[in-house]
Amino acid sequence: MIFQKIHPPAYLKAYIRYYWVLESDVLETLPKNFAAIADGSPGIIFHQAEGGAFYQQGKVLPAVFLYGQTTKYTELSSTGRFRNIGVYFYPHAIKSVFGFNAAELTDSCIDVNLISSKEYKSLSERLFNASGLNDQIDVLSAYLFAQVQQNNASDDRLISYAITKMFEAKGNVNLKLLQEDLRLSERSLERRFKYDIGISPKLLSRIFRFQSAMNLVRDKSFYKLSDIAYEHNYADQSHFIRSFKEFAGVSPNQFQKQSNELIENFPEIRP
């Protein structure tokens, strides 16, 4: 398979980490299976296939769909020769770009055409009719910029600050001290997080900690799993493995053996 990572235009850098493209270079006779791993970020996927479709648990997915926070392991499969274009957002994008409660899409997805303005009701058609990959990226960028303008997107600075602190601490942040720093009650912080991000501060911190630990597994930058567990303040190695299985679906050792991770947090699962 062929993978590309594409930087977003400057006017979307506050919302998008990057675009990614995954293309099959041969006509596959068997479905390709992928794992969606919790990473703290929502996204969009456009699936273009010759004689095939994109499935989740046997259900055909829309050609262009927006997904929210992933908090548990799930599998997707693709049939036929395909091109997938993904938008990898920052955690706040559901609310700041699309203007609605992020919790509505947690562990779920929606056809982008259903939430688009009248001008962009035919987004999937525009993408299918584009002359090539660069034009498809331009179509997506124009669509997302129109969404930002339509929703008068503005970030909650307190939540953005909290997310930055969590990320910098690799998820090991004292939430009580963070609440005091933000001058918010536990209930207020929880409510604002669920609306802007789609999950609680505690769960996002756990996902950030898992992702930091997972980076060491990816890079094989460890001698023993217990070293990773200790560095990331897991109670012990068993606690770390349970957390890894919760968010990645497999143990760290199985992940290394069975996953082909061209796209970060969206690996192909080997038979």
Domain map (residue ranges) of the chain = 2-150
Half-sphere exposure of 110 (CA within 13 A, CB side): 16
Among 102, 97, 104, 88, CA closest to 120: 97
Distances (CA, A) of 105 to 50, 95, 116, 228: 29, 11, 15, 32
Count of Cβ atoms closer than 10 Å to residue 192 Cβ: 18
Half-sphere exposure of 255 (CA within 13 A, CB side): 27
Alpha carbon distance 96, 192 (integer Å): 13
Asked if 179 contacts 50 with a C-beta cutoff of 8 angstroms, the reply is no
Residue whose structure tokens are 């199985």: 254
Looking at residue 23, its pLDDT comes to 84
Among 203, 269, 159, CA closest to 70: 203
Residue 74: strand pairing partners? 36
Tokens of 221: 């930058």
Alpha carbon distance 192, 91 (integer Å): 13
Q: What is the pTM of this model?
A: 0.90
Tokens of 4: 């590309």
Alpha carbon distance 106, 200 (integer Å): 11
Residue-level pLDDT, tens digit, the chain, 271 residues? 788 999 999 999 999 999 999 887 766 666 778 888 999 999 999 988 776 667 777 788 888 999 999 998 888 887 777 788 999 999 999 999 998 899 999 999 999 988 876 665 688 888 988 889 999 999 999 999 988 888 766 667 889 899 999 999 999 999 999 999 999 999 999 999 999 999 999 999 999 999 999 999 888 777 788 999 999 999 999 999 999 999 998 899 888 887 787 888 888 877 6
Looking at residue 154, its pLDDT comes to 64
Which amino acid is present at 186? Answer: E
**Domain at 2-150: CATH code:** 2.60.120
Distances (CA, A) of 140 to 16, 82, 97, 178: 12, 18, 13, 36
